[in-house]
Structure 1
Amino acid sequence: MSEALDRSFFARDPVVVAPELLGCTVTANGVTVRLTEVEAYREDDPASHSFRGPTKRTAVMFGPAGFLYVYFTYGMHYCANLVCGAPGAGAAVLLRAGEVVAGEARARERRGDRAARDLARGPARLAQAMGWDRSDDGRDMVGAVRPGARGVVLAGPRTGITKAADTAWRFWLEGDRFVSPYKRHPKAPPVV
């Protein structure tokens, strides 16, 4: 088994870290997921939760790298990010999709009897499969992320956002069936 990534791996620009996370495995709460899709966010990015500066909700994003930032969205889902950059940077990588490679029974307890492809394909599904909620906000993930084979990495616009919708900070593994479908937000400005 390969050695876990150390804090210095995460203490860089999320746009650099994000594609390097693809193929890595993340282990928590009895489940291991191989990451297939991620998105980068920074404080200078109007789509980022950190754009307006630190708040009680986003405080973890401004702390040291390698911690989990978990937020609640749409009144029903949790999503998880790995904090990146230097302390104070307000940067993170959203974990968008993955393949459950260990602990499938635990993931199914949380996600129900779904096709293996759909256990962690999408950020809310991934967080649910991993058993993450707001109580995991600020959890140190150094030691829980290990490098893996990447394959061909593609980049394109992030999905489901209205601001900076065309910024190509979404990264995914080409042809991987565990990548979620791209969905442009209906309120995002039209592509020119």
Structure 2
Amino acid sequence: MSLVKGNRLERDFYLQDTLYVAKELLGKILFRKYKGKYLVGKIVETEAYKDDDPASHAYNGKTQRNEVMFWLGGYLYVYFTYGMHYCCNVVTEAEGKGCAVLIRAIEPMEGLNTMIKLRNLKNEKKIFNLTNGPAKVCQALNITKKDNGIDLCGNEIFIVDSGKSFSANEIGKSNRIGIRDGLEKKWRFYVKNSPWVSKGK
């Protein structure tokens, strides 16, 4: 049982505007059930992807790969990239929209030693490199393609509101990382001064 307390986010939260959800997810707590226990981390960095966004997987319509993006908000969209990494996204808005929020970084709260093993991190002096990127998050939480389509209102992977929120002054925003299109959109949101945020600032 986790020591982190709070209320689980319900479906209605995920049905809201994608940019709003991307900002509101900062400070929320991500739970991942693993071998009977939970790996837990605070979300400190996100990126928003809308249906009319040329950087989005949904921009050219529904495919077998991105089908989950078009589901009702509140499901997990996991994709494989660069032939070696997984990235996880929270599907947002109404069914058929094709919107999602990428989880870019988390601050570990529970299950740190397990995350270190899953990441095969040898140098613990570089602990802030553990989960400071979307592929690192998935590796540390053992999130793979098999988790694509998981209901975030279920018990395997879910998000909790612990009551912590950030003021506008505490939230940074920038261009998104690792994209070629939509560079003008400042749809990357992160907690300022968090050492767990990815390096691309």
Q: 2:159 aligns with which of 132, 141, 145?
A: 145
Cα deviation for residue 32 of structure 1 reads 0.8
Corresponding position of 2:177: 159
Structure 1 residue matching 2:180: 3-state secondary structure? coil
Cα distance in structure 2, aligned partners of 1:140 and 1:130? 16
Q: How does 1:39-188 map to 2 (within 5 A)?
A: 39-113=47-121, 114=124, 115-142=126-153, 144-148=158-162, 149-151=164-166, 152-182=170-200
Residue 53 of structure 1: how far off its partner (Å): 0.7
CA contact (8 A) 1:100 1:116 kept: no
Matching residue's letter, 2:134: P
- Separation (CA, whole Å) in 2 of partners of 1:156 and 1:26: 23
2:41: which partner in 1? 33
Q: What's the CA shift for 1:116? A: 2.8
AA matched with 1:150:
S
- The runs of 5 or more residues in structure 2 that have no matched partner are none
Residues 45-87 of structure 1: CA deviation (Å, up to 9, x unaligned): 0000000111011110000111100000001000000000000
Same amino acid, percent of matched pairs: 39
CA RMSD of aligned residues (A): 1.2
> Secondary structure of 1:19's partner?
helix
Q: TM-score of the superposition, structure 1-length normalised? A: 0.91
1:48 partner SS: coil
In the alignment of these two chains, the number of paired residues is 183
Residue segments in structure 1 that go unaligned for 5+ positions in a row:
184-192
**Which deviates the most, 36-45 or 100-109?**
100-109
Q: 1:155: Cα distance to partner?
A: 1.3
SS in 1 for 2:61: coil
Q: TM-score, normalised by structure 2?
A: 0.88
Contact 1:70 1:80 in 2 (8 A): yes
Which amino acid counterpart does residue 197 of structure 2 have in structure 1? V
Q: Please state whether the residue corresponding to 2:8 is helix, strand or coil.
A: coil
Secondary structure class of the residue paired with 1:135: helix
What is the one-letter code of the residue matched to 1:3?
Answer: N
